[in-house]
Structure 1
Amino acid sequence: MDSTVPPEVLREAIVEEVVTFAGGAQRLYSLRERLGLEWPGHLYAEDGMVAYMWECLDTVKTDRDLIGVAQRVVRQVGSQRIEEMLRTYGVRTEFGEFQNLIFAGNGGRDGKPEIALVDATSNRIKITKNRHFWLVYDRPLLSWGLSWQTLLDWWRSEEPGKTDGADDHAVSRMLIERMAESLPTPPPQELFFRAYYKRVLRQHAEVGFEQPALLPEVHLHYDPYTARQHGGKRPLARQRMDFLLLLNDGRRVVIEVDGAQHYSDKVKLKSLEGAVIERSIASPTKYGAMMAADRDLKLDGYELFRVGGKELQSAPQAQALVDGLFNRLLSSPS
């Protein structure tokens, strides 16, 4: 589209996309609330979903507010049609025109995605190999972040055969288990992950699922070459993050769970009796590389929190740490 879409055309598209996505009156009520639309007070969705949505949208008086509603529709519904309309108004996401998150790969060492740049002007990519191992969230990332509810709605569209007829709690359990498949074998990272989503489910009664999604094993950088092809030294030290949250106002929070492998090397030594034993020896080189990567991450606008593996030795210990951390970080109820 070369010219700006008229507001009345954008309104009509919003009504059609929302009603189609909702599929029923009860879900339409919930979606209307998440879109921040006022209830007109004299009409119910059971009287006609299209008429109901037009009445709700009539409470939006300015074009600027209408654009805000359209952005929320893209966030909740994932409408490419409305996204294209928004581009005619010059609307962009917080981090650019097009974004995608590649996370929670469950293919092991052989499952690294192979990526091609299909449009360099808008940073559009395509995964050409091992796509089936990864979750790829490719809806716009707007300034208010990525909530668990938004991720659930996206997952429903990705897996309709698994999620049709299931309520949000059931879909939550499905998606949590799918993401858990990406976690490494040592327990600390999984304990942190499980504790976070136990907290999300516990708080649902108070704040719903409009809580930040905790994404595991997220690709931050991408290097198509192996360490061997680089002569044993990678130019991108940290390609994946343990966990990422996208919060309100464009805040990006990275959480790293550190085991001994982050700052030490395993060395085989001989005991006085001649037996070979393995020990972790502090590595200034590894520690320095980790600190350099941390600095780059912070300078790129990320907030970084490190958690020691020793702090996550049991489920109760992990739950106490996670609750304390996120009560303060998110300023939400305990």
Structure 2
Amino acid sequence: MDVEAFFSSGDGWSGPWVLDVGLVESLRFGPPAGRTDLDVAIALTRLLYDDFVAHGTNGQGRHLDDENVPVVMKAHRAVLERLALEPASWPFRTFDGPRGFGTYWRDNGMSGSWKARRDCIEQILGPTRDALEDLQELEYERRFTKGPSGSFKNLIFAADGAKPQIVLRDAVNNDVEIVRHADTCLVFTDPLPPHGLTWRQMVAWWTKNHEADADERTAASTLYRRLYRSLDSVPEQLVMRTYCARYAEKGGFELPALIPQVYLHYDPYTRQSGKQSGALHRQRMDFLLLAPDRSRIVLEVDGVQHYGRPNPPDEKGRVTWTAVPRLYSEMVAEDRRLRLAGYEIYRFGGWELTEPNGEHLLENFFTELLTRHQKPTL
């Protein structure tokens, strides 16, 4: 949650901000919809810390005033108490005046030292910040223990020709090998960062392995076009275009990379020859996101072939489809398996993405998804 959420207007840190007093006062009774007390506590701590440090140093960059600082302090205390944390102990309540920070630092020998004033704020809010960071890590670990077991090892994706034939070479070490059509797909084997895989990290990998002399923007454009070529359908292409448009926005390169056509889940079986290798049934995902909260998110775009079979063309050449319960059952059984393994799965019907509002539907979905799976920051 960004501190901007507490203000009703403003243009970044340099513009005039107006505190949404009603919103801040409501935080004493619970977090806003879609947020947690941890999100709110982190943002309020950052707001108070930055404003008091700004007041105690160069006096610039403040966004609160003497009238609304106590409102924020009360909300901060209430949220921390709901989290069972010790609230900060403030020896002052405002910036200026008899009970202000200025009076406090003059009375306590800090008049000639910006560092002493910064250290004062650190002493007041540092323990709160540290406690919130500990809660963050506990939350990450809680989510991660519900996530996929095992560690990331192979990411094979984006085949733009014949599909890769993959075998298990070492069942003990889970080493896989592409024995046919390796040239049609991409293989990411770099260490996976603990908090997901961003577009910037994907571009860096691509540059290192495929386009060493390119600058970041050029490499990103080439990688995007290469990924786009692997898509099988118009609805899948719409998903890719809609999400990847966010890469061009401010901070877009830090978003989780949308990885198409992923061959990640395997059911190995041993060949009859008895060798420790075997062909692998390929269970391809349409899209994968490795989110900053350590979630692994699967997106599937279902055409009619996922649950039906075509009938012979009629006299006018039109093809109809017949629902096949077995196909639907296989699809939902695979969903259950992946969910039990800790993955999140979201399915789109191809038909809904061909409707006039398909792009708008995806934009709203991705906004909510990224908000849910963002990494809180202090």
Query: What's the TM-score once normalised by structure 2's chain length?
Result: 0.52
Conserved 8 A contact 1:195-1:318: no
* Aligned counterpart, 1:246: 290
RMSD over aligned CA atoms reads 2.8
Distance in 2 (CA, whole Å) between partners of 1:276 and 1:147 is 46
Cα distance per residue 1:78-112 (max 9 Å; x no partner):
xxxxxxxxxxxxxxxx864560100001123xx32
Give unmatched runs, 5+ long, in structure 1: 1-93, 226-235
SS of the residue corresponding to residue 301 of structure 1 reads coil
* Aligned counterpart, 2:354: 313
Change in 2 beyond 3 A, CA 1:299/1:98: closer
What are the residue-to-residue correspondences of 1:150-229 with 2, within 5 Å? Answer: 150-160=201-211, 163-166=212-215, 168-184=216-232, 186-201=233-248, 203=249, 205=250, 207-222=251-266
Conserved 8 A contact 2:246-2:252: no
* Aligned counterpart, 1:83: none
Change in 2 beyond 3 A, CA 1:322/1:237: farther
* Aligned counterpart, 2:39: none
Distance in 2 (CA, whole Å) between partners of 1:237 and 1:287 is 19
Conserved 8 A contact 2:309-2:322: yes
Change in 2 beyond 3 A, CA 1:195/1:208: closer
| Letter in structure 2 aligned against 1:129 | R
Conserved 8 A contact 1:254-1:305: yes
Task: Using the TM superposition, give the Cα deviation of residue 158 of structure 1 relative to its aligned residue in structure 2, in angstroms.
Answer: 0.8
* Aligned counterpart, 2:153: 99
Distance in 1 (CA, whole Å) between partners of 2:190 and 2:214 is 23
Conserved 8 A contact 1:152-1:171: yes
Distance in 1 (CA, whole Å) between partners of 2:319 and 2:294 is 45
Give yes or no for the alignment of 1:283 onto 2:324: yes
What are the residue-to-residue correspondences of 1:109-124 with 2, within 5 Å? Answer: 111-117=163-169, 119-124=170-175
Change in 2 beyond 3 A, CA 1:200/1:99: same
Change in 2 beyond 3 A, CA 1:275/1:124: closer
SS of the residue corresponding to residue 268 of structure 1 reads coil
Query: What's the TM-score once normalised by structure 1's chain length?
Result: 0.59
Please identify the structure whose Cα radius of gyration is greater: 2
Distance in 2 (CA, whole Å) between partners of 1:196 and 1:148 is 11
Identical-residue share of aligned pairs (%): 40
Give yes or no for the alignment of 1:322 onto 2:348: no
Task: Using the TM superposition, give the Cα deviation of residue 115 of structure 1 relative to its aligned residue in structure 2, in angstroms.
Answer: 2.9
Distance in 1 (CA, whole Å) between partners of 2:184 and 2:193 is 26
Q: How many residues matched?
A: 217
SS of the residue corresponding to residue 250 of structure 1 reads coil
